[in-house]
């Protein structure tokens, strides 16, 4: 299960360094390349809650095998694709595979180990592997792209996916699907939940693109609004909603997830801005860019280990506000470096600030988002928080990078435009975090 988690986590960040090489091979610009990132994260985030529900209805092992197989097939397709459009489709299928496989994998781990120290240790390994995957994705992307080519960042995981499939067959006991009296799966709600961010992203990214009809962007944005409204209406009437309406009665969780989306949007934007500046602006190769971003990887691990202990001393609100502040300072640093046109090493302060922002902000918001959960809503709260993180990152990239690097704004510094948009989101997140009711952390900094 941890091997699967590792490669899925790697897949979130491994494409960042490879994007300029992909753009060069397919002759597409940074504006269009955002689809390689957001196609994966939007589809995965939109389908996460559906994936968790499928495991309950059809059996965890069966759904785990389905999602893992889908992820592996999509990875192979991404590695051999002859066109950019097919690469984006493959990335979206990868996101769907992640959304189906990960909830089943985590549920399997929880049920394999009894509650107490063994389960805590198992989940600790799971979380550590995820962090290592996200961090190593930056470095591995540079090494693989420089020596083997960008296609291999998708092909290398394929044999390991086969190992996961075989291990799941032989090591995980088959479980029975839920009894037949369970209400039908809310497929329409899942479709609308996925369509809303996809249409929103498409509308933002394609706005002002040369050759795109003028009606396309407004039509897509109108479709996003209609999908969101339709989702709310369907969920209100569904016998088995993906997200029960009672979830929104808890102001603390709603505010925490909104702040998560805004912070994740800025963090994901920064990763692409680092890549575009190092490779497109400075002309540094993939290997050099990956090594330049090594301080980001190392400091992220440090802050991930440091913050949980500070959570009990400072409180969740202080950690969240610190994370938002660090990230805003990083945006200012990126804009300054771009304006001055200095070398790659001048981005290191911004990288350290981004690591601090992620460490303080995301950990604090995760604690708040799952505070006070019970057995009845723990899964819902966790799934929504994960979806908010992923969808927020995708929306942030679409808005900040999509608009910042739009051809219609070529007279402006795209890095300045993108950082200003991200900073506006962070200010909004700080207002939300300041006003949200926050439960006290325990003295040991544990999330309950």
Domains of the chain: 1-186+238-242 (1.20.1250.20), 250-448 (1.20.1250.20)
pLDDT tens, residue by residue, 415-424: 999 999 999 9
Question: Half-sphere exposure (CA, 13 Å, Cβ side) for 142?
Answer: 19
Q: Say what the pLDDT of residue 446 is.
A: 43
Asked whether residue 345 carries a pLDDT value surpassing 70, the answer given is: yes
pLDDT at 362 over 70: yes
Average pLDDT over residues 204-231: 81
Q: Return the sign of the alpha-carbon dihedral for residues 219, 84, 7, 270.
A: negative
Identify the DSSP state of 370. T
pLDDT in tens, 106-155: 777 777 776 656 765 676 677 667 767 776 777 777 788 888 889 999 99
pLDDT for the residue numbered 208: 59
pLDDT over 70, % of the chain: 86
Handedness of CA 324, 269, 52, 104 (dihedral sign): negative
Q: What number is the average pLDDT over the span 194-221?
A: 78
Residues 181-205: what's their mean pLDDT?
Answer: 77
336 confidence band (pLDDT: 50, 70, 90): very high
User: Three-state SS across 109-148?
Assistant: HHHHCCCCHHHHHHHHHHHHHHHHHHHHHHHHHHHHHHHC
| pLDDT in the model for residue 443 | 40
Asked whether residue 180 carries a pLDDT value surpassing 70, the answer given is no
Distances (CA, A) of 211 to 204, 301, 371: 15, 44, 49
């Amino acid at each position: 299960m941890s091997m699967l988690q590792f490669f899925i986590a790697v897949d979130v960040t491994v494409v960042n360094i490879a994007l300029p090489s992909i753009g060069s091979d397919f002759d597409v610009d940074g504006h269009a390349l955002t689809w390689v990132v957001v196609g994966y994260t939007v589809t995965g985030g939109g389908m996460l809650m559906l994936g968790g529900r499928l495991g309950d209805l059809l059996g965890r092992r069966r759904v785990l095998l389905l999602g893992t197989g889908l992820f592996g097939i999509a990875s192979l397709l991404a590695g051999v694709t002859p066109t950019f459009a097919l690469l984006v489709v493959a990335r979206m299928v990868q996101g769907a595979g992640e959304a189906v496989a990960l909830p089943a994998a985590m549920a399997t781990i929880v049920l394999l180990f009894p509650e107490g120290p063994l389960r805590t240790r198992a989940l600790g390994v799971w979380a550590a592997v995820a962090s290592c995957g996200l961090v190593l994705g930056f470095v591995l992307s540079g090494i693989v792209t420089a020596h083997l080519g960008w296609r291999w960042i998708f092909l290398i995981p394929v044999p390991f996916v086969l190992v996961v499939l075989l291990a799941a067959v032989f090591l995980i006991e088959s479980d029975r699907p839920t009894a037949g009296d369970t209400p039908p799966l809310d497929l329409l709600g899942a479709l609308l939940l996925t369509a809303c961010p996809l249409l929103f992203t498409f509308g933002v990214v394609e706005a002002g693109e040369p050759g795109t009809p003028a009606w396309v962007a407004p039509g897509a944005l109108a479709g996003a609004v209609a999908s969101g409204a339709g989702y709310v209406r369907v969920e209100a009437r569904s016998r088995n909603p993906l997200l029960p309406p009672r979830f929104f009665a808890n102001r603390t969780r709603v505010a925490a997830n909104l702040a998560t989306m805004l912070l994740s949007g800025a963090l994901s934007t920064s990763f692409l801005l680092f890549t575009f500046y190092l490779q497109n602006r400075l002309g540094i190769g993939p290997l050099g860019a990956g090594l330049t971003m090594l301080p980001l990887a190392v400091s992220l691990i440090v802050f991930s280990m440091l913050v949980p202990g500070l959570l009990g001393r400072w409180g969740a609100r202080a950690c969240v506000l610190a994370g938002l502040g660090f990230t805003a300072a990083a945006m200012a640093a990126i804009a300054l470096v771009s304006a001055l046109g200095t070398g790659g090493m001048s981005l290191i302060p911004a990288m350290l600030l981004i690591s601090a922002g992620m460490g303080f902000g995301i950990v604090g918001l995760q604690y708040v988002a799952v505070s006070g959960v019970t057995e009845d809503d723990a899964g819902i709260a966790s799934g929504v928080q994960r979806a908010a993180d992923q969808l927020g990152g995708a929306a942030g990239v679409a808005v900040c990078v999509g608009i910042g690097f739009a051809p219609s704004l070529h007279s402006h510094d795209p890095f300045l435009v993108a950082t200003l948009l991200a900073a506006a989101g962070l200010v909004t997140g700080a207002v939300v975090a300041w006003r949200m009711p926050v439960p006290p952390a325990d003295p040991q900094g544990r999330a309950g």
